Amino acid sequence: MAEYDFDLFVIGAGSGGVRASRMAAAQGMKVAVAEDRYMGGTCVNVGCVPKKLFVYASGYSAGFSDARAYGWNSGGVEFDWPTLRDNNAKEVARLNGIYRNLLDNSGVETLNGRASIKGPHSVIVNGKEITAKRILVATGGWPFIPNIPGREFALTSNEVFSMENFPKRVLVVGGGYIAVEFAGIFAGLGANVHLSYRRDLFLRGFDRDIRTFVRDEMQKKNIDLKFNHNVVSIEKLQDGSLLAHADDGSSINVDMVLYATGRVANVEGLGLEEQGVVLHKDGTISVDDNFRTSVRSIYALGDVTGEPQLTPVALAEAMALVKHWRTGETAEIDYNNIPTAVFCQPNIGTVGLSEEEARDSGLDVTIYKSEFRPMRHTVSGNTERTLMKLVVDASNDKVIGVHMVGDDAGEIIQGMAVALKAGATKSTFDSTIGIHPTAAEEFVTMRTPVAG
């Protein structure tokens, strides 16, 4: 008789949890996974997938306008919110089914319900106790709204994709990539958008040139950027609209307030602390290099541990963890030079060190930059511009940072990430022949460093 019901019990069927479950089952483990919300986790349901679809939708407004200069008379066009909302829901439902089938076809038992940990080798799901040799927590993150009066009137990215009605006036609160992306989405779909951020410039942690460039491009799109602005309360008026009050005494009347002020670890009700699992001050789970918590039989990975909150990171961690269980080798993950994209408009793509990070670390760097109007806008008259930037270590000529703001920046930077991982030098870039005419060729034609 088996000592435990399962070899592995996974709490959370997001990207990391599903990948770990499938790979462990493929290694012959008996695996179960519990999910209390939706298959595929944040990315599939209320994160990167629907967000990217909404970015596509919001870009058509400028596309219709630009097309006239190319001879296309699109006539009168109008946006229909229910069509976008419902088609997005259909695509998410399709992906939910794919994730469930992946688990079923891998022999993983799927349980619908919130699991809590009762002991080092036991969990409770829907009132039933289940035992496992190992427990893996992969519950991801959860949107955070500060405890201000009227917080119940605000929405988060969890609810925004399924709103009944489209808001004509929107206040987005936050300064991270989610806030910047949704400000662009709603502006592109026709809303009057304000963005409130409590510091002097959003996208903290990104290269300063990128941040200021995106600020200027967003202002061109008539997005009202309010920096050093702190919302302290939200009031619901008799007509159903919302009045957001700031600490400077000003107020903004809108139809919707969207909070994008960060995400916290989704650990409530899991019973971690009761079992002696050590948490960081921010609520994320402390793990060692092999994703093991302070309780030897309990593991954690993905956003819930506080590592870069990116789907590919969770997938890589899941594969490294299962390999560790199979071989006993350390679960090595290289968190350096992880490429990332922000799907604001225009997009941001970045990999490696920012200029500020490089200089703060004591490196002597040479900077190359190029700013230009994309070719397609030379005819359309659209004033949107593109920025590209290289950060080069002057001591060895290695390219240590590549940054871009412009159309398809994420697609272009993915290839640049391979070059950085391979240790490409500026001379390598210079000797590479570009594809003409493309925006990406600018990365291999920048020859003159920025003065100073």
**Pairwise CA distance, residues 180 & 185, whole Å:** 9
> Helix, strand, coil % (nearest 5) of the chain?
35, 25, 40
The beta strands (E) that lie in 198-308 are given as: 224-226, 231-236, 242-246, 251-254, 256-259, 263-265, 298-300
- Please check whether residue 346 is in contact with residue 354, taking contact to mean a CB–CB distance below 8 angstroms: no
Residue type, 311: T
Catalytic positions, please?
436
Distance CA 373, CA 287 (A): 46
Q: What is the DSSP letter of 273?
A: G
Distance CA 377, CA 374 (A): 6
Round to whole Å and give the CA distance between 182 and 43. Answer: 15
Closest CA to 433 of 424, 425, 422, 441: 441
Contact 214, 203 (CB under 8 A): yes
Residue with tokens 């799907």: 343
Tokens standing for 27?
């290694």
CB 55 within 8 A of CB 185: yes
